Amino acid sequence: MQDNEIIELYFARDEQAIVETDKMYGAACMRVSLNILNSRSDAEECVNDTYLKAWNSIPPQRPNILKAFLCRITRNLSLTRYRHLHRAGRNIDLEVSFEELEACIPVPEEQSTLLAGYISDFLKREDKQDRLLFMGRYFHACSAKELAQRLGMSESNVNVRLYRTRERLRTYLLERGCGV
């Protein structure tokens, strides 16, 4: 089933929309949540909450790319849950991601939307490989090892490219007056 047809089901308040969403994008949402929470049961709850949130928000919203819309909801819910469940060392790899990003993105939460716009502009100018690495690492919370396997690179190469991308992003944000 195409995205448009699923969205029409949401608009018609047909519960089949949830079933079709789960069929099409359940695995992708699960992966995003599992990378952050590192717990299958917590991830399943987050994915279910994603469907509920999508059900509540799609009318009036009409997402352009349903997959990205759902992944974003899952990610936000997973991060909220991670904050709630956080214990020291619960997901070491994710903590490393946080620290890496903190070095190049300023912390204030009120500028979040503006920052996201800058980051989007920056990423669109980057090489596709670097863009995929950045999003894989900092959106999907994949480890450098997993990214290396999926993109056919060495782990050290992934780390080096990520470091250079972060440096460029830091410079880019500094030029726009919101650097660290």
Partner 1 sequence: MKGITAFTCISDVDESLIAESLSIFESPYVAAIKAYRSERRRAFFQSPLWAAMICAVVSLSILSAIVMAGNGVFTPPANTTPPEITATETDTEEPTEPETERRPASTYHSDWQVGTPVDPTPQPPTVPEVTIDWNGFLPGYGSPPTIDIEPTVPRPNIPGQNNSSGPIRNPNLNPNPGFP
Q: Which residues contact partner 1 (rule: CB under 8 A)?
A: 28, 31, 63-65, 67-69, 71-72, 75-76, 79, 82-83, 86, 95, 97-102, 104-109, 112-113, 115-117, 119-120, 123-124, 128, 131-132, 135-136, 138-140, 142, 147, 150-152
Q: How far is the CB of 15 from partner 1 (least distance, A)?
A: 25
> Cis before residue 106, ω within 30 degrees of 0?
no
Select 41 or 113, whichever has its Cβ closest to partner 1.
Answer: 113
Select 19 or 79, whichever has its Cβ closest to partner 1.
Answer: 79
10 Å Cβ neighbour count for 167?
12
CA 23/CA 37 separation, integer angstroms: 22
CA 17/CA 19 separation, integer angstroms: 5
Q: How far is the CB of 86 from partner 1 (least distance, A)?
A: 6
10 Å Cβ neighbour count for 147?
22
Q: How far is the CB of 63 from partner 1 (least distance, A)?
A: 7
* Residues found in the chain: 180
Answer whether 123's CB lies under 8 Å from 132's CB.
Answer: no
CA 56/CA 13 separation, integer angstroms: 10
Select 71 or 162, whichever has its Cβ closest to partner 1.
Answer: 71
For residue 166, give the amino acid letter. Answer: R
Select 90 or 164, whichever has its Cβ closest to partner 1.
Answer: 90
Q: How far is the CB of 169 from partner 1 (least distance, A)?
A: 11
Select 1 or 132, whichever has its Cβ closest to partner 1.
Answer: 132
